[in-house]
Amino acid sequence: MTSSKSSLTALTLGAIGVVYGDIGTSVLYAVKEVFGSGHVAFSPENVYGILSIFFWTLTVVVSIKYVLLVLRADNHGEGGLVAMLALASQAVKDKPELRRVLLIIGIFGTSLFYGDGVITPAISVLSAVEGLEVISPAFKGYVIPTTLVILFGLFAVQKRGTSGIGKFFGPITLVWFAVLALLGIAQIITNPVILKAVSPHYALMFMWTNPGTTFIILGAVVLCVTGAEALYADLGHFGKKPIRLAWFSVVMPSLTLNYFGQGALLLKNPESVKNPFYLMAPEWALLPLVLLATMATVIASQALITGAFSVTKQVIQLGYLPRLNIQHTSVRDTGQIYMPMVNWGLFVTIVLAVLMFRSSSNLAAAYGIAVCTDMLITTILTFYVIRYAWGYPLSLCLAATGIFFVVDFAFFASNLMKLFAGGWFPLVIGGLVFTLMMTWKEGRELLNGKLRADAIDLPSFLESVFMSPPARVEGTAVFLTAETGTVPNAMLHNLKHNKVLHAQNLFVTVQNHEVPWIGMDKRLEIESLGHHCWQVVIHYGFKNDPDVPKALQRIKSRGCEMDAMTTSYFLSRDTVIPTIGGGMSPWREKLFAQMHHNASGAADFLKLPNNSVVELGSKIEI
C-alpha cells in the first residue's frame, strides 16, 4: 500500500513537470495579451468579466473536456492525437470512405502539432526573458540574443537524453506553481473583491454586452489553455490518475490564483497592464523570478521537443513518413529517443520564428490557430470513438461532444482573424509537413502497387526452383519483403548472380498496426513453405521498437535453428524513377523519389547487424 502511494506521488510529481509545463507558463502572457490588445475598455466590470472567462475556459476546456472525458479515450493505455486517430479509424473500419476522411483529418492535426512545436518554445522562453525589461529597460537589447542562446543550449543537449535532468523537472515545476499561487495570493489579499469573478455571471454579462469584443479576444483567451493537448498525449507515460490528481490538486488552483492575482493588480494599478505577471512581484524578487520562469519555460519546451520525437516515430510506424535516424538515449526507458533531423529542423524554424516576430506579443498573434484546430479535431475524433467504439446512443454522443465542438469552434473562428497577423506561420509549417506525409503515404501505395503488379507468387516459384535445385550453402538467409507470398527482388538477384540457396530461407514481412503495442506473444506468424523455407510475419504497434533479429529468436521453437554468426539479411534497395502519366502529379512523384532516396536505411531501422546485411539494388518506375 505504501509502495503504491509513493509510486502515485512520484507519477503525479512527474506529471506536474512534463504534462503541465506548457499550460503553466501561459500566465506569463495570456492576461497581458487580452488587456494589451486594445479591444477591451479598461473598467472593473471588464476585469471581472475577462477573469471569469479565463476561469470558465480552464474549467470547461481542460477540467471537463480533457481531464474528465478525453482521458477516458485511451488506446491500450496510450493517448495523443495519433492514438485517438488509430482508435477512431478502427471504430469505423467497416465504413472505408469515412475512415479515409478521418485519417486525413487526423494526419492534418498531427502535422499542425509541428507548427505548435515551433511557436511554443519561442513564445515561452521569449516571454520569460522579457522579464529583464521589467528589471531595467537597458536590458531590452539582450532579450533576443539571450533567448536564442537558451534555445540553442536546450536543443544541443537533446542527444544526451533527458534521464539525467528529467528528475529535476517535477520539483522545479512544483516550485514554479507554488510561486504562481503565492504571487496571486499576495495580490488577492490586497483586493479580495476580485474573487467575485469565479461566478459565471460576470463572464456571461461581458459576452452579452460585448459580443463583438468577446469574439475578437477569444483568440488571446485561448492562450490560457495552450498545452491542454499534452494532458492526453502523455497519458501513456503517467496514467489517468496522476494526471487528474496533479491538475485538480496543484495546477488548476495555482493558475486560478495567479490569474486572479493579476486581475487584482489591474484593479489597483491599470498601468501594470504592460506586464502584469512580473509586476505582481516585489522588486527584490524580479531577477530570481525571471530565472525561475526561464527554467519553467525550458522544461515546457523540453516536454514539447520530446513529444515531437515520439509523434514522429509513431507517424513513421503508421507509414506516413520515411524512416529517420532514431537514437535511443536510455538503456532502460525505450521511450527516450533522439532524432537529429527533427531536433535541428525544429531549432532552425524556432530561431526563424524568434527573429521574425521579435516579441512574445507578436508571437501571440501567430499562436492559437494550430492549437485550436488540434482541439477541434480531437473533439471530432472523440465523437466517433464514443459513438462507434464505445457504442453510446447518438443523442448522448452529440450532447457530450457538441458543447465542446461549439466552444472549440468559437476559439478557432476567433483565431482565424489572426491569420494575416502571423497565424499563417504555424499553418504553413503544418501544411508543409502534411504535404510530406500524404506524399509519402500515397507514394508508398503506388510503389507497393507496382511491386505487386510485377510480383511472382512465392509458393509456386519455390516449387519450380526445387524441381532442379541450385547448390545450397550453410547458414540462414533472411529476405525482407514488403508483401507476403511474393518473391523478394533480393532473392531473384541472389539466384541470378550467385546461383546458390542457403540451407534455411526466411521470407520476412514487417507489418505495422494502428495500435500502440503488440506483445511478444502476438509478435510472430510463421508458416512452413517446405524445403527449410518459412514465411514469417512480424507485427509491431506504432509505439513498439522494430528489432527483427530479436523477434526472429522466437522461431527456434518452431523447428528453425538460427545462428547469428551464419545468418545473412538480404534487402532490396529500390531506386524510384518518377514517370509522366498516372500516379501523383510530377512534382509530388519527384518529392517522393527524393524522400525515398534520403530515408535512413532499413537495416538500421530494423536493427539488423551491419556485418550481416547484403543490399541488392533495383529501379522501379512509378
pLDDT digits (tens, 9 = 90+) for 514-534: 788 888 888 898 988 888 899
Contact 123, 360 (CB under 8 A): yes
Give tens-digit pLDDT for 85-126.
Answer: 888 998 998 999 999 999 999 999 999 989 888 988 998 899
Q: Kindly indicate the confidence band of residue 4, based on its pLDDT and cuts at 50, 70 and 90.
A: low
User: CA-to-CA distance for 542 and 408, rounded, in angstroms?
Assistant: 28
Give 161-220 pLDDT, tens digit per residue. 766 666 788 899 999 999 999 999 999 999 999 999 999 999 999 999 999 999 999 988
Q: Mean of the pLDDT values across residues 38-61?
A: 91
User: Residue 124 sits in which domain range?
Assistant: 7-428
The reply to whether 379 and 478 lie within a common domain is no
How distant is the alpha carbon of residue 273 from its chain centre? 34
Tell whether 57 and 156 lie within a shared domain.
yes
Strands 500-512 and 471-480: parallel
SS3 91: helix
Confidence band of 42 (pLDDT split at 50, 70, 90): confident
Cα(213)–Cα(205) distance, integer angstroms = 13
Whether residue 442 lies inside any domain: the answer is no
Least Cα distance to 19 among 285, 306, 386 occurs for 306
Q: In 3D, which of 286, 229, 268 has the Cα closest to residue 67?
A: 229
pLDDT exceeds 90 at position 407: yes
- pLDDT reported for residue 332: 58
Report the alpha-carbon distance of residue 282 to residue 278 in Å, rounded: 9
419 with 488, same domain? no
Q: How many CB atoms lie within 10 A of CB 155?
A: 19
pLDDT interval class at 611 (50, 70, 90): confident
Mean pLDDT across 145-164:
86
Q: What is the grid cell recorded at 416?
A: 482565424
**3-12, 253-262, 494-503, 570-579 — most confident range:** 253-262
Beta bridge partners of 480: 508
Total number of domains constituting the chain: 2
Same-domain pairing of 424 and 459: no
Please check the confidence at residue 301 and state whether its pLDDT lies above 60: yes
End-of-domain residue from the set 394, 428, 462 = 428
592/575 Cα distance (integer angstroms): 11
Shared-domain flag, residues 340 and 478: no
Mean pLDDT of the residues in the chain: 88
**Grid cell listed for 430:** 503544418
Is residue 172 located within the same domain as residue 267? yes
pLDDT surpasses 70 at 9: yes
Q: How far apart are CA 523 and CA 78, in angstroms?
A: 19
Where residue 70 sits, what CATH number does that domain have? 1.20.1740.10
Q: Which residue has the higher pLDDT, 610 or 182?
A: 182
| Domain endpoint, select from 369, 393, 428 | 428
* pLDDT of amino acid 1: 46
**Least-confidence region, from 230-239, 250-259, 477-486:** 230-239
CA atoms within 13 A on the CB side of 95: 12
Cα separation of the two ends of the chain: 61
